[in-house]
Amino acid sequence: MILRTIFGKTLKLVLSIVFIFVSFPLFATNGMLMTAYSAKYAGMGGAGLAIGGTIMDLESNPAHLARIKKTTGSTAILEGGFAALIPKLYYKDSQFDDNSNSGLVYTNSRKSEPAVFPMPYGGFAQAIGDNMGWGIAFYAQGGMGAHFKNNLRNTPNRGTLNEVMSGMTGSTVNLPMIGNLRQMSESTYSNFGYAKITPGFAMKFGNLSVGLGFDVGMAKMEWRWTFSDPFGMMEFPGAGYRYKSDVALGYAGKIGFVYDLSDHLSLAYAYSSGAKLNLNGKISVNAGNADATQAGLVPVSMYLNYPERHATGIAYNTGGDGTGLTIGFNVSYIKWASAINTVEFKIPMPYISTPMGNKISELAFNMKWRDQTVFALGFEYKPSKDSVAYRLGYNYGRSPVTADGINPLFPAVSEHHASTGLGFTFGGLELDLAVEYAFPNTVKGNDMSDWDMLHAFYLTPGASTPGTQEFLAAFKNIYYNHSVKMEQITTQVGIRYKF
């Protein structure tokens, strides 16, 4: 009866928290996934696939639900916690002189606006007899985002600000003091967050545990790409893009296996399917003329795929009961390439103005992410069941973000992570603490990327015929470069009560 009451209250709390937190900025480090889910696993670099003992096994390997008695020494656990991600993001770009005295030269070096991304988790799990278990968890799956302000830019086709604003409004504009300038500033903001509820069930067949989980995910995305005067004081109305999605639902499944070779050694495998998120919403487009500008916010259809993931793991414990030295090692393969290649935003009318002057109804981000293999190695030393647990971990995954797709809107480029943590036991209550550092990593864009082409194409009036010398001369991308750098500190706290 007590456990049933706890479950009912937990479920109501889960639904409320997930809907609240999907509206907040979320972040991650292995692409749009976190290196570790739960403070216990965070202290070990995320190497917990074959270890078990936390509610976040529902995220990584639900087979551990059938091993609750072995991994926790109890029949049920109630757990909650959160991570605080504090990224430091840096954007640089330069437009060099092409020796034509064009006056195109500028240099930017910006640090993203300070931000802390909260990533909550929690849930309840219970053993059913000696060979089964079930549970439900909520958690922030991941996301990404950044805010860079006032990067200096040349105006489209090198016109004055008066000419640019006159073209957009359809009437003559004379801006005092700055109207004859041929430069402006650009600001970018992005935020994507994805949260999940996962119920699961597992059963043991001798030494083999098999678990299933069903994910119900909620996601939201917002981004802005806007322009203002060179000093960042006045945002140009109608210029740029402002997008905000509705809340999207996504569904996925997962299956996990754990095989106990002995009391000391375990092997694990888990598979998580991908999910399709229909992030339809509203967008204002870079109109470029008065008629399209008057359209304001228009409906936009867009979907984003979250990738499928394969993971294998091994764990060894010297004590055979969780005491002594525990070593965990995971290898995960995340299929980003098929999930995030080209992201398209489609509107009902051709309002979008391209650098070449034509109008289209589809805005495409050629992200060109690559698949990612992630390695996680973790250690825990716990002298006895009631003593402090000391944890160390390391996690590496080559960033899925490529030189073809890097831009300041989607900057998840970290690769190397080191972590440490502590676990405290107070009777039936356990407290886990962890801190992780993502070492600085930089990704440089290539000359033929979309971002380069958008920022280094200067088409003069009368030179819009493809193939002509004047048209080819408009491409200044070999004189332009850009890069994004990322480092991050993450802290995690988790509290687990064992019944």
pLDDT of residue 144: 84
224 close to 189: Cβ distance less than 8 angstroms: yes
pLDDT tens-place string over residues 352-367: 777 666 788 898 899 9
pLDDT of residue 87: 92
pLDDT band at 181 (very low <50, low <70, confident <90, very high): confident
Tell me phi and psi for residue 472, to 5 degrees.
Answer: -65, -35
Handedness of CA 282, 165, 291, 358 (dihedral sign): negative
Pairwise pLDDT comparison (356 vs 46), residue with the higher score: 46
pLDDT of residue 371: 97
pLDDT of residue 293: 47
pLDDT of residue 28: 60
pTM above 0.85, yes or no: yes
Ramachandran class of 49: left when φ > 0, alpha when ψ lies in -120 to 50, beta otherwise? alpha
pLDDT of residue 18: 55
pLDDT at residue 50 is higher than 50: yes
Distance, CA of 57 to CA of 338 (rounded, Å): 26
pLDDT of residue 292: 45
304 has which bridge partners? 277
Among 8-17, 310-319, 356-365, where is mean pLDDT lowest?
8-17
Q: Domain holding 136: CATH number?
A: 2.40.160.60
Pairwise pLDDT comparison (491 vs 356), residue with the higher score: 491
Among 41-55, 98-112, 211-225, 333-347, where is mean pLDDT lowest?
98-112
pLDDT tens-place string over residues 228-260: 888 888 888 777 889 999 999 999 999 999 999
pLDDT of residue 289: 44
| Count of the separate structural domains present in the chain | 1
pLDDT of residue 286: 66
pLDDT at residue 21 is higher than 50: yes
275 has which bridge partners? 306
| DSSP secondary structure, 6-35, as one string | HHHHHHHHHHHHHHHHTTS----SBTTB-S
Among 180-194, 208-222, 242-256, 301-315, where is mean pLDDT lowest?
180-194
Please give the residue range of the domain that contains residue 401. Answer: 2-498
pLDDT of residue 496: 98
pLDDT of residue 163: 83
pLDDT of residue 20: 56
CA 363 centroid distance within chain: 21
Q: Mean pLDDT throughout 364-375?
A: 95
pLDDT of residue 296: 67
Distance, CA of 40 to CA of 18 (rounded, Å): 21
pLDDT at residue 27 is higher than 60: no
Q: Mean pLDDT throughout 61-81?
A: 96
Q: Mean pLDDT throughout 157-164?
A: 79
Q: Mean pLDDT throughout 342-349?
A: 91
3-class secondary-structure state, position 147: strand
Mean pLDDT (the chain) is 88
Q: Mean pLDDT throughout 143-160?
A: 86
Can you read off the two tokens belonging to residue 237? 């109305």
pLDDT of residue 25: 54
Angle at CA of residue 216, ends 271 and 124, nearest 5°: 85
pLDDT at residue 102 is higher than 70: no
Half-sphere CA count of 113, side-chain side, radius 13 A: 14
pLDDT band at 174 (very low <50, low <70, confident <90, very high): confident
3-class secondary-structure state, position 76: strand
pLDDT at residue 491 is higher than 60: yes
Distance, CA of 125 to CA of 71 (rounded, Å): 12
Question: What own/partner pairs with CB < 8 Å and gap ≥ 24 does 340-344 have?
Answer: 340/304, 340/305, 340/307, 340/367, 340/369, 340/400, 341/366, 341/367, 341/368, 341/369, 342/366, 342/367, 342/368, 343/302, 343/304, 343/367, 344/302
Amino acid in position 4:
R
pLDDT tens-place string over residues 407-430: 999 888 999 999 999 999 999 999
Q: Mean pLDDT throughout 357-386?
A: 92
pLDDT tens-place string over residues 387-401: 999 999 999 999 999
* Range with the largest mean pLDDT of 164-168, 268-272, 337-341, 457-461: 268-272
pLDDT band at 224 (very low <50, low <70, confident <90, very high): very high
pLDDT band at 99 (very low <50, low <70, confident <90, very high): low
